């Protein structure tokens, strides 16, 4: 009888098209809505594990609509009757079934983790082991004119945020001007990062780095287009240490390739929507830890659900140095509450069983 209570009895998924609080622009697109797929895995004892996916099709080749079709397939429904105690084995099998479909993998991975944690009475962070103290997240300022950039930065600062990530990549001259002005305005009150989203050429990047070398920029995300990583090897090792692999880094094989000697990147950006959830994230994190590469945990526009899952994974690594988990801040609405809260600028998990989430 007890074993029966551990069985999966139902798997349901649906898609919601959610408005953002305000549109934002990056080097290759502008967004005002986001499509998010939600998954519920119900156990025989009534426990419900919650998962979600918000894959960026232009990065991973999978749309939320495709994710929903996959989640409603016979392959997923065949999991009904499985024992939640075997959730890691189930995830391994799902990753083989849905190869190169990280949105599908992530929705199921997160829901299975949440259901298991709730059943076991342990948070996912505690299940894997918490290895580091809480960190602040950066907040993202999209590409906009200089006046609006400074205004948004001021609003964030007045609301207690002190780490800014500036989207760049359309005009290197404007990018330089914005960075210098933000530094002048806030001086030692903030930390600053930039994300070019593949928008620079090597010449642009070199120009940007030279013009901002007196500014204490923490890092520069994915400056060149995917496939042009070898061009970065012409930069000094010290310069490359500040560069972050984002769109170039999807899975374990990428992490291994970029960890070889003479590395183009000094930091890895892990997004659950690129690598297929917590299991895939941990594979990349372990490679980075062994290779002494710092971790930067990022996101798309996402529900609190997957942001919380990323946070639980992030705190399981001593080499986690940077958080950019502000994706749920952009949503005009969400379907859950809980998971984490911000205390003194730090992202704190609530340490409830599973991911500590509740439906609204």
Domain 126-359 matching CATH 3.40.50.10190: the answer reads no
Domain chopping of the chain, boundaries: 3-121, 126-359
Q: How confident is the model at residue 243 (pLDDT cuts 50, 70, 90)?
A: very high
Q: Is the pLDDT of residue 158 over 70?
A: yes
| HEC profile of the chain | CCHHHHEEEEEEEEEEEEEEEEEEEECCEEEEEEEEEEEEEEECCCCEEEEEECCCHHHHCCCHHHHHHHHCCHHHHCCCCCEHHHHHHHHHHHHHHCCCCHHHHHHHHHHHHHHHHHHHCCEHHHHHCCCCCCCEECEEECCCCHHHHHHHHHHHHHCCCCEEEEECCCCHHHHHHHHHHHHHHHHHHCEEEEECCCCCCHHHHHHHHHHCCCCCEEEEECCCCCCCHHHHHHCCHHHHCCEEECCCCCCHHHHHHHCCCCCCCCEEEECHHHHCCHHHHHHHHHHHHHCCCEEEECCCCCCHHHHHHHHHHHCCCCCEEEECCCHHHHECCCCEEECEEEECCEEEECCCCECCEEEC
Residues 181-216 pLDDT 10s: 999 999 889 999 999 999 999 999 999 999 999 999
3-121: CATH number: 3.30.390.10
What pTM, to 2 d.p., does this model score? Answer: 0.96
In this predicted model, what pLDDT tens digit does every residue of 13-71 receive, in sequence order? 999 999 999 887 777 778 889 999 999 999 999 999 999 999 999 999 999 999 999 99
pLDDT tops 70 at residue 79: yes
**pLDDT over 90 percentage in the chain:** 93
Express each pLDDT in 160-174 by its tens digit: 999 999 999 999 999
**Do 3-121 and 126-359 come out as alike in CATH topology?**
no
What pLDDT shows up at residue 3? Answer: 64
């Amino acid at each position: 009888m007890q074993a029966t209570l551990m069985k999966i009895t139902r798997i349901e998924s649906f898609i919601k098209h959610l408005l953002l609080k305000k549109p934002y622009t990056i080097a290759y697109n502008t967004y005002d809505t986001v499509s998010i797929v939600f998954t519920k895995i119900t156990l025989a004892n009534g426990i419900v594990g919650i998962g979600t996916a918000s894959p960026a099709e232009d990065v991973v080749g999978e749309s939320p609509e495709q994710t929903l079709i996959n989640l409603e397939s016979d392959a997923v429904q065949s999991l009904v009757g499985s024992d939640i105690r075997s959730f890691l084995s189930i995830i391994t099998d799902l990753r083989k079934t849905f190869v190169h479909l990280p949105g599908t993998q992530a929705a199921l991975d997160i829901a299975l983790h949440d259901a298991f944690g709730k059943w076991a009475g342990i948070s996912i962070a505690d299940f894997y082991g918490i290895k580091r103290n809480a960190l602040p997240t950066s907040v993202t300022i999209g590409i906009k004119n200089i006046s609006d950039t400074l205004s948004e930065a001021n609003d964030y600062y007045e609301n207690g945020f002190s780490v800014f990530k500036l989207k760049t990549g359309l005009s290197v001259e404007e990018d330089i001007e914005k960075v210098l002005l933000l530094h002048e305005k806030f001086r030692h009150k903030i930390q600053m990062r930039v994300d070019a989203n593949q928008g620079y050429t090597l010449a642009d990047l070199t120009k940007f780095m030279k013009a901002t070398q007196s500014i204490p920029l923490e890092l520069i995300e994915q400056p060149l287009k995917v496939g042009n990583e070898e061009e970065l090897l012409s930069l000094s090792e010290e310069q490359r240490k500040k560069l972050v692999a984002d769109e170039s880094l999807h899975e374990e094989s990428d992490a291994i390739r970029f960890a070889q000697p003479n590395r183009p990147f000094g930091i890895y950006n892990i997004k659950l929507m690129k690598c297929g959830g917590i299991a895939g994230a941990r594979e990349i994190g372990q490679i980075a830890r062994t290779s002494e590469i710092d971790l930067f945990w990022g996101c798309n526009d996402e529900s609190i659900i997957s942001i919380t899952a990323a946070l639980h994974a992030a705190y399981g690594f001593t080499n986690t140095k940077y958080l950019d988990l502000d994706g749920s801040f952009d949503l005009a609405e969400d379907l859950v509450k809980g998971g984490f809260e911000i205390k003194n600028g730090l992202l704190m998990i609530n340490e409830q069983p599973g991911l500590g989430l509740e439906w609204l």
